[in-house]
Amino acid sequence: MAMYWKEITVNWGESDPFGLVYYPRIVAWFNDTEHDLFRTIGYPIEQMIKNDRTTFVMGEIHFRFIGPAAYGDRIITTINLAEIGEHTLHWNCKAKNALTGAPVAEGRATRVYARINEDGSLKAAPIPDEMRDALRELGDLKHLRPNSGPSKLSAQSHLPG
């Protein structure tokens, strides 16, 4: 299944002086990571809303804070697609400190694919086959280009895991 990660920097105001990240910011980190994933596979959420009148809405979330993240810390957020339902995507999410590898947060999120009606209401809709295929191909890493040459950095030390 699909896996995607993104490195972010903790912004001023996202945590208290003790490194406790405000809960809505954790959710936003994973939301931003998911939106980047959809851009990568050719389905930018903003274009889905504008052109197709569809989107993914949050159906259920459960996150827990594990360790501190302070202003300026670099964090790796990872989303793993655990299951694709007819109308839903089920993500396992983790955040860790990019330098130390220390866990910051983890959780689960369920997204519901929905059509936006003329009155602004939402109705669950089947996830299109093309989108399912793109998510599966992402899991196969077919979206990555061949390495352009050797790197001085060890990829293993930077991959989420």
The CATH number assigned to the domain holding 75 equals 3.10.129.10
Q: Is residue 151 part of a domain?
A: no
Tell me the residue range of the domain where 79 lies.
3-139
Task: Output the pTM of the full model.
Answer: 0.82
Confidence band of 149 (pLDDT split at 50, 70, 90): very low
Q: What is the largest CA-CA distance in the chain?
A: 55
Which residues contact residue 24 at a Cβ distance below 8 angstroms, ignoring those fewer than 6 apart?
none
Number of domains in the chain: 1
> pLDDT tens, 30-48?
999 999 999 999 999 999 9
Q: Is residue 103 part of a domain?
A: yes
Least confident residue range of 6-10, 72-76, 82-86, 137-141: 137-141
Q: Is residue 64 part of a domain?
A: yes
Q: Which residue has the tokens 């910011």?
A: 25
Instruction: Give the Cα separation of 67 and 121 in Å (integer).
Output: 38
Q: Is residue 81 part of a domain?
A: yes
Q: Is residue 156 part of a domain?
A: no
Q: Is residue 150 part of a domain?
A: no
Q: Is residue 146 part of a domain?
A: no
Q: Is residue 13 part of a domain?
A: yes
Which residues contact residue 73 at a Cβ distance below 8 angstroms, ignoring those fewer than 6 apart?
9, 10, 19, 97, 98, 99
